[in-house]
Chains A and B, each alone.
Chain A
Amino acid sequence: MRRLPVLRRVSPRQRQFESLTRAHAGDLYRFAFWLCGQSALAEDLVQETLLRAWRNMDSLREAAAAKPWLMTILRREHARLYERKRLDTIELDDVRVADDGAWASPERHGQAADIRAAMSQLPLKYREPLAMQVLGGFSCEEIAAELGEKPGAVATQLFRARQKLKTLLQDDPMEATDHGLS
């Protein structure tokens, strides 16, 4: 006899949390990875972030605000972690990225891997706003509000982040400079 699926009552809050997790866990992991540089630590950060989000689910009013809201929580979790385990947290500059599982893809030795290696060498002050912009879709103003800086300062950081990436990639760094006019 064919068994019917078990029906369980799920609260709207739980449904919301599950949807949130399914929609954003991947992006959160990527953002966490570019903050801390370690796959296992990034996954821990994602879990901590989602648990904190679940506890504060009532403060999320709009679906469109979910991703920036989660990324903000993640940043704070990362900062807390950094305060707790200052010695354990390492700069991506020191990471041998080729040893990390996150790089195990067919593109590993291709162009994407070169960009990732270059990204890993950026200092956190450049890497963080760049990841927020590219992965999170934050504007300069939003990043500035998150980091407690002025929009102009953030724009400069983003400009220099790209400039350094291109230098590391031996791309045309002058493209990004104000001297590269042609």
Chain B
Amino acid sequence: MDCLEFRRRLGAEPRSQAADMLAHRLECAACQAAWQRAQQFEDRLEGALKIDVPEGLTERALLAQSTLQRQRWRRRQPWLAVAASLILAMGVGGYAWQQHDAHSLPALSVAHMPEEIASLDLIQPLTPHAVKMGFAGRGVALRGPVPSGTTYVHDCMVGPYKAVHLVTRHDGEPVVVLYFPHRQVSHVRNFQRQGWVGREVPMPHGGLVMLTDRGSSRPFSAVASAWTQAIEGHVEARTASLDDGESAAPKAP
């Protein structure tokens, strides 16, 4: 670095600690003296630019901010109240729906299955008499022919409800049938829960829930028809097939 460059940089950045400027100062007495005068000038300049700050400046700035914040908060409050009400309503609604769903026949039927899972492995068909006795235990007299391929029958408690638990073989695959005497089902509805595919079907004097763990609702229509005929003595149109969709409105009888 030469003296010209040093003085130019000294004029632009007098406080610079650059190594090349320091090195030049050490070897040039004139530039060292110029540097000292520049430092004195900078001290005076810094001191002069630090003018007095108005008293209470900080407090007034904080007051302006806190006032603005409060104004914003007031403007937001009605919206916050509405938002809080909506969240509360959604929470209550969600909880109510959860409680309602947990006590539905599909939910209770699926929850019942783990303790009866071995019944799916039975392949020996029961006699019609044995099946009729199973229904008789629930005070239900069968009015039609017992479907062939019924391999299991038991009077169970499914949640708080009395039920007849059956397993019917359809094309060799087991289909669980739970008949709930005197339980009302509003309409035919397919469902899927915890690996089970199911359908609930309304009947004149109770409700029927079918379950399979084979992934297809294909056998449900035939099984529902067969058991409706067995229980009621005739087949109703509303037990007809519902192969598509998760749910459907009640079909006209």
**Among the listed stretches A16-24, A60-68, A73-81, A85-93, which one makes contact with chain B, having 4 or more residues with CB under 8 Å of it?**
A16-24
Contact at B51–A103, with CB atoms within 8 Å?
Answer: yes
Contacts A50-B61, A178-B8: A135 and B45 contacting too (C-beta < 8 A)? no
Task: Please pick, from A112, A158, A175, A180, the residue contacting B47 in the complex, using a CB distance under 8 A.
Answer: A112
B82 at the binding interface (Cβ < 8 Å): no
Against A, the Cβ 8 Å flags (1 = close, 0 = not) of B57-75 are 1101110110011000000
Contact at B37–A175, with CB atoms within 8 Å?
Answer: yes
Chain B residues within 8 Å of A101, by CB? 54
B1-57 at interface with A (beta carbon < 8 Å) = 3-4, 7-14, 30, 33-34, 37-38, 41-42, 44-54, 57
A146 at the binding interface (Cβ < 8 Å): no
Chain A residues within 8 Å of B51, by CB? 30, 33, 102-103, 105, 116
Chain A residues within 8 Å of B8, by CB? 155, 159, 178
Query: Smallest CB–CB gap between A119 and chain B, Å?
Result: 7
Contact at B38–A155, with CB atoms within 8 Å?
Answer: no
Contact at B12–A30, with CB atoms within 8 Å?
Answer: no
Chain B residues within 8 Å of A26, by CB? 53, 57-58
Contact at B64–A51, with CB atoms within 8 Å?
Answer: yes
Contact at B60–A47, with CB atoms within 8 Å?
Answer: yes
Chain A residues within 8 Å of B60, by CB? 43, 47
Query: Smallest CB–CB gap between B46 and chain A, Å?
Result: 6
Query: Smallest CB–CB gap between B103 and chain A, Å?
Result: 43
Contact at A131–B12, with CB atoms within 8 Å?
Answer: no
Query: Smallest CB–CB gap between A151 and chain B, Å?
Result: 10
Contact at B61–A46, with CB atoms within 8 Å?
Answer: yes
Query: Smallest CB–CB gap between A59 and chain B, Å?
Result: 17
Interface residues of B (CB under 8 A from A): 3-4, 7-14, 30, 33-34, 37-38, 41-42, 44-54, 57-58, 60-62, 64-65, 68-69
30 A-B pairs whose Cβ atoms sit less than 8 Å apart in the complex: A17-B65, A18-B62, A25-B58, A26-B53, A26-B57, A34-B49, A47-B60, A47-B64, A51-B64, A54-B65, A105-B51, A111-B44, A111-B48, A115-B45, A116-B49, A131-B49, A134-B46, A134-B49, A135-B50, A155-B8, A155-B13, A156-B12, A159-B11, A159-B12, A176-B11, A177-B7, A178-B7, A181-B4, A181-B30, A182-B30
